[in-house]
Structure formats: structure tokens, C-alpha cells
A and B are shown apart, each in its own frame.
Chain A
Amino acid sequence: MNTRRDFLKGVLAGGAVVTAAAVAEPAIARETKKRPAEGLGLLYDATLCVGCKACVAACKVANNNPPEFSTEDHLWDTPLDTSGYTFNIIKMYRNGTMDAKDQETNGYSFMKISCMHCADPSCVSACPVSAMTKDPVTGVVGYNPDKCIGCRYCVAACPFGIPKYQYDSPTGRIGKCELCRHRYKDGHYSACAEVCPTGATLYGKTSDLLIEAKRRLAMKPGELNRFPRGKIGGPDQSWETPAGKYLQHVYGEKEYGGTQVLKLSGVSFEKVGLPDLPEDSAAALSETIQHTLYGNLIMPFAVLGAMTYVAKRNVKLDDAPTDKEEG
């Protein structure tokens, strides 16, 4: 009888755990984070991009990265994707006869692939040792190799496939765009935006870039308009060109709670490799679960208390040295 009662007690303890979890949830739900007010970023406009890849080369120089080869003759840097040594790349979309730019069927387009500097980055939430951090002011997501343990959880977590690991080295690091944060003190900004001849890659505060993006979406396709180059709010380097045919969607405005790098395109974003993401971030969901189960360690201690209580009564059985009595 005793056994049955204790069995029920155990079941009850288990039930209490589940109930506690269910009740605790609303209190600790973690909202998706927003961009910091002064957050910095880039605006990439695929309709302005000519695919010259000056930004890819400039990125290599700014980050002291070696060339990577995909052709037989190893003549120049030809990476096919971002990697532990390539933080920025221009990918090409091609379809059918490739007659016109920014056209989905029988057309072609470009897409810049580099870190989006998410408002609520999965990589920062994932990193167990705070080697990935988001600057509270600039919002730049930076990497610290002196803390990184190389677990590659950030690589798995990022929805854009951005952090990459250097598998070819016994001391490999994670490589990813840090928005050239090491160049700010010399008055420089992101190298890709500095060198872009058309203003397809533009640097600035994300709040300003979002206004600029919306201004472009309101333009009449084909109409002459002025476009800034380099940096928003910097010296005037603007030029005039006909406006492109945009999809009415600023990618990064709302995805996963928003990103600090924004994108405009004429070809659907999924086709150029940018995933369709909900407005609530995965980091928020993951941390809500974590906080519900482990917030202030309340649940673990409650369960531990219950287990200790039950175990204390039951483990006594063990003290009778069975081996001696029978041996």
C-alpha cells in the first residue's frame, strides 16, 4: 500500500512541474526585441546594383581576408558563397533568356549576402559564452574570438546562414560581417558602401535608411530620380538615374522583428535567397521557453525540493546493508 501511495506522490510531483510551467508562461514571455534608436546598417537596392563586386573586394581588404578561388587558374578572388574568409558576396539570379534586369521570368538580378544585423539576433541568443554580442547603441552584431568556443551553434541558428566557421584550420574562427566597426574610429564606415559606384549599397542609421527605402518604393518606375551614394548624411555624392521597378516590400523592416540591413529588389526575395520570416523572432520563442522553465531557477529548485523530499523517504531502504545480511 505504502508503495502505491508513494508512487502517486511521485506522479503528483510530476504534475506540479507541468502545472507550474503552464502558469509561469505569461509572466516571463520574452517579446521580440526592436532595433536600437541609433542603430546602424546598410540599404541594399538590387535595382541599382550593376554586379561589379567592388564591394566584395573592398570587404576582403577591410577585413584582411585572403582570396578564395573557384576557377582553375587561381587568378583572382572568386568565392561562390560567404565563408569563414568571405563576409560579403554578390549573388546572381538568372532565369530563362535573361533579357532584362530585375525581372523574375527571363530576367536576372543581384543580391548582396552579408550579416543583416538583426534587431533580435538568433546568433546572440544561441551563443553560450557571449562571443556574439549586439552593441546596445549601434546595434552592430560583433564577434569576439577570444571567448568563442567554436561550438557553431550560431552557424546553425542564423536564418540567413551568415556566421561561417574556418574548418580548414586547427584554430578556426567564426567569420562574419561586423559592419566594419573597427574602421569607425578613423572616420571610415562600411567598406562595401564606401566603394559602391551606384549607391546600391548605402550606409547610415537604419531609421534614415528606412525612410530612404520608402521614398524609393513611392517612385514611378523609369522616372529620373536622385540617389545618394556612400553614406546617408555624409557629403553629397548623389547622382541621377531612372527609378527601378520595385516589389513593394522593404525586406528587413519587419522580418524577425526587423534587421538593421534593409533590402529592396525587383525579384521576389525568396528567389534571391532571403527566407520568408515571421515578425516574431525565433530567439524570443527560444528564450521564452528557457525563461519559463528556468527563470530564476524557480522551477528546478521546486522540482529538486519535491524530489529530495520523496527520495529522502525512499532511499532509506538502501541503508540496510543487504550485502552483509545475506553474504
Chain B
Amino acid sequence: MANHQHAAPAPVGGKLLNAATFVCGVFAAILLAILAVRFFLGLGAVTNLNDGYPWGIWIVVDVVIGSAFACGGFSVAMLVYIFNRGEYHPLVRPALLASLFGYTLAGAGVIFDLGRWWNVWNMFWPGSANPHSVMFEVAVCITAYIFVMWLEFAPVVLEKFGMTARKQKLNKVMFAIIALGTVLPMMHQSSLGTLLVVLGTQIHPLWRTPIEPLLYLLTAITMGYAVVLFESCVASTAYRRKIEMNMLTPLSKVMLGFLVAYLAVRIGDVVVRGALPRAFALSLEAVVFWFEMACFVAPLFLIGKENDRRNPARLFVAGILLMLGGAMLRINGFLIGYETGDGFHYFPSLSEILVTLGMFSLEVLAYIVITRRFPVLPREAATH
């Protein structure tokens, strides 16, 4: 019953307009302007997409990586409710909030990228839906998960507006919502990896494996914890609060457990499939492979010892490295290790990068507004 000792969540308070929110607002405005051009003139007008690289950073970064970054809510909820580690309870709300925005925006981001978005209802139309398609599974699962997360977060909103009766009613079925909220991300985070399987021989052997779903699931969970470390550090600095080291230290140990499992599977798979020699070839693919692996291995040295896990700076850097490693796994599989034939090149255009930045800014903006006005972060004696 550990969480009875925890401080209850409370709004942080403070002004909403400051330098950070202003900058985020500007980026969000640029995003809208670029999207207007995209919807009136077509994808080609603002992106560098081509038929060799039909997917760019809007899919790979905003959706595939963005949703993995947004796995904090799922990773922590799994720890607290499935593995019954109540001591991490205060981390649930902030993590869930970040996930909520990460996923909601990833869902919106898909629409920008769809060439024929007005037909999207076909995805949910029995006569059209193709259950054999990995994309179908991903789309349906992510949509469902976004709804489930809003339900998981609803008590915060109800609390704010004093609707206690409703909140208690919702809490009665919360266990079912939470269970769904762990199964759905397991399904689509693994399927995001399965997306690559049908691309077959076009994927470089270092990233071409039938266990793609397991790799993506394990890294999504690891990245989820890494994001929580990252966010906790940033939030404490920005709001001048105490870092919750009593939770982050043991949490990082759980994260390392998943990391070790991932590395064992990943390395074993590369060796068993005989792809290892390709890692020693003189190629861009080999270089980015080692970079990716380095990001995953370095945290073992950085925070492998219990004492090092009590050092917030080390936790912060380890968190960033794991986020980067997971991001590289996805960029390498979807873009760098993807070869459709000669003559095709892709590097994101300025507009594409600005849209991705705009999406990220919207997330930060929403996080600031909500944590300042709604009970998300644990109450603290002296804030700002």
C-alpha cells in the first residue's frame, strides 16, 4: 500500500505565457501554414518524398518513433498495475499525459501524410478492411489506444472540475481500461516492426528479421522508461522541483532489465541469421548499425552500478541514449537500411522538419498547460 504515503497530484500553477510556450506557439503556427500548402497543392509541394522513399520523417519520426517515445504511460502503468509496484504510482499521471499527447498527435500526423485522407473511413468499413494487412492492425490498435488513454486520463479532468461521483464510477471499471491500455500498445508497438516484414529483401539484412515485432516491443518498453527518466529530470529542472530519485533509481533498474533482454535477442538474432559480417562491411549501414548498438550498450556502463543509478545526471544521459538508440533502430530499418533501387534519395525537406518540430512543440505546449492547470504532478510544498 505504498502509494498512501505519496503526495497527491496537484496543479503546478504559474503563468501560461512564457518564453517556452511562446516559442512552441510559433512553431505550431508554422506547422499550420505548411499543412495548408500540403493540403492544397499535394505532398510533393512540401516534402522530398518520392517513389523510392514513399515514407519520410512524418511517418518514421512522428508516428513510428513518436509513438514509441509515448510508451512511458504504458510502461509505467504496466509496472504499477500489472507487476503491482505501487511505489511508482506518482509517475503514472505525468507519464500518461505525455503518452496521451504523443499518441494523439501521432494519430493526427498520419492524416497529414495520407495521400487520400478522405477515404480513411474505409479502414473501419467491414467491406474494405483488410485484416491480413499489418498497417490495418496498427491503425485500428492505435486508434483504440488513443480512446483508452483519454479514458485513463479522464479522472484527472473530472477531479479538476469536481465531478467526484463520475470519477468514482469510472474508477470502478478502471482496471479493465488499464488492462486494455497495456494490451493495445503491446499489439501495435510490435506490429510497427512487423510493417517491415512485407518489404522483404528491400530491407538491409541487419534489420530484416521475422522477430521484428519482438525487437520493436522490447525497445518500445525500454524507451518508455527512458522517456520517464528524461521527462522527470526536465520537469524538475523547469519547475524547480526535487527530482524523484527514490523512484527513478529503482525504475532505471527495471529499464536495464528490459534492455539486457533486448540486447540478448537482438545480437542473437543478427548472429543466427548470419547477418553479422554485414556489420563489418564498409558501408553507411554498418556505421549506423554500430551507432545504434552503441546507444543501447552505453547505458549498461553508465548506470550499471547501483551507485551510479543514484546520480540524476547519469540517469538523464542514459535516458537520452536509449531514446536515441530506439529512434535509430527505427530510422535505420525504415529509411537508411531500406533500398528500393538505384537513383532514389531522400533527405527531409525544411518543411518536413518544421512540421515535425511543430508537432513536438504542440506536445510540449500541451504538457506545460495541463501540468500547470490540472492535477498531474505530485504536490510539492514549494513550487517555483
Instruction: Tell me whether A and B are bound partners.
Output: yes
Which residues on A are within 8 Å of B, measured CB to CB?
2-3, 6-7, 10-11, 13, 81, 83-84, 122, 125-131, 145-153, 155-157, 159, 161, 164-173, 256, 273, 275-278, 281-283, 285-287, 289-290, 293-294, 300, 303-304, 307-308, 310-320, 322-323, 325-327
* Chain B residues near A13 (CB-CB < 8 A): 82
Q: Is the CB of B128 within 8 A of A147?
A: yes
Cβ contact within 8 Å between A152 and B115: yes
In the assembled complex, B50 has its CB within 8 A of some CB on chain A: yes
Chain B residues, CB < 8 A from A317:
1, 3, 86, 89
Q: How far is the CA of A314 from the CA of B120 in the complex (A)?
A: 38
The complex places the Cα of A199 from the Cα of B335 at a distance, in Å, of 40
* A313 nearest CB neighbor, chain B only: B84
Q: Which residues of B contact A130 (CB under 8 A)?
A: 122, 127-130
Interface 0/1 of B221-235, CB less than 8 Å to A = 000000000000000
Main secondary structure of the interface of A (DSSP, over half): helix
Alpha-carbon separation in the docked complex, A18 to B280 (Å): 32
| Residues on the A chain within 8 Å of B47, using CB | 167
Chain A residues near B197: list those with CB within 8 A. Answer: 282, 285-286, 289
Q: Which residue of chain B lies nearest to A153 when distances are taken between CB atoms in the complex?
A: B135
Q: Are A303 and B201 in contact, CB atoms less than 8 angstroms apart? A: no
Report the bound CA distance from A118 to B131 in whole Å: 20
Interface SS majority for chain B:
helix
Contact of A289 with B82 in the complex, beta carbons under 8 Å: no
Contacts of A327 in B (CB 8 A): 8
Asked if B132 and A314 make an inter-chain contact with CB atoms under 8 angstroms apart, the answer reads: no
* Nearest-Cβ distance from residue B76 to partner chain A, whole angstroms: 13
Q: Tell me whether A293 and B132 are in contact (CB under 8 A).
A: no
Most chain A C-beta atoms within 10 Å of own C-beta, residue among B78, B116, B183, B197: B116
What are 18 of the A-B contact pairs (CB < 8 Å)? A3-B84, A13-B82, A125-B198, A126-B198, A128-B123, A129-B136, A147-B128, A150-B114, A156-B338, A161-B51, A277-B200, A289-B194, A307-B183, A308-B175, A310-B81, A311-B175, A311-B176, A315-B178
- Report whether A171 and B130 are in contact in the complex, using a CB–CB cutoff of 8 Å: no
Let me know if B137 is at the binding interface, CB within 8 A: yes
Selected from A152, A169, A173, A325, the residue in CB contact (under 8 A) with B4 is A325
Closest 4 CB pairs of A and B: A150-B115, A282-B200, A167-B44, A150-B116
A322 and B1 alpha carbons, distance in the complex (Å): 11
| B residues 157-214 touching A (CB-CB < 8 Å) | 159, 171, 174-176, 178-180, 182-183, 186-187, 190-191, 194-195, 197-202, 210, 213
Task: Answer whether A149 and B82 are a contact pair too, CB < 8 Å, given A159-B202, A165-B54, A282-B197.
Answer: no
Picked from B119, B191, B202, B338, the residue with its CB within 8 Å of the CB of A149 is: B119
Give Cα distance in the complex from A311 to B85, angstroms.
12
Bound CA–CA A303/B180 (angstroms): 9
Q: Does B7 contact A (CB under 8 A)?
A: yes
Contact flag A303-B51 (CB < 8 Å), given A290-B137, A315-B175, A322-B8: no
Question: A294, B137: Cβ atoms under 8 Å?
Answer: yes
Within the complex, which residue of A168, A282, A285 is in contact with B44, where a contact is CB–CB below 8 Å?
A: A168
| One of B136, B200, B341 near A161 (C-beta < 8 A) | B341
Interface hit among B15-23, B34-42, B238-246, B301-309: B34-42
Q: Which among B3, B82, B116, B178 is the interface contact of A171 at CB below 8 angstroms?
A: B116
Question: A268 to chain B: closest CB distance in Å?
Answer: 15
Q: What chain A residues lie within 8 Å of B85 (beta carbons)?
A: 3, 7
A312: nearest chain-B partner, CB-CB: B175
User: In the assembled complex, which residues on chain A have CB atoms less than 8 Å from the CB atom of B340?
Assistant: 156, 161
Say whether B81 contacts A311, CB under 8 Å. yes
* Cβ contacts under 8 Å, B191 to chain A: 290, 293
Q: Does B6 sit at the interface, judged by CB under 8 A?
A: yes
Whose C-beta in chain B lies nearest to the C-beta of A30?
A: B132
CA distance A81 to B343 in the complex (A): 10
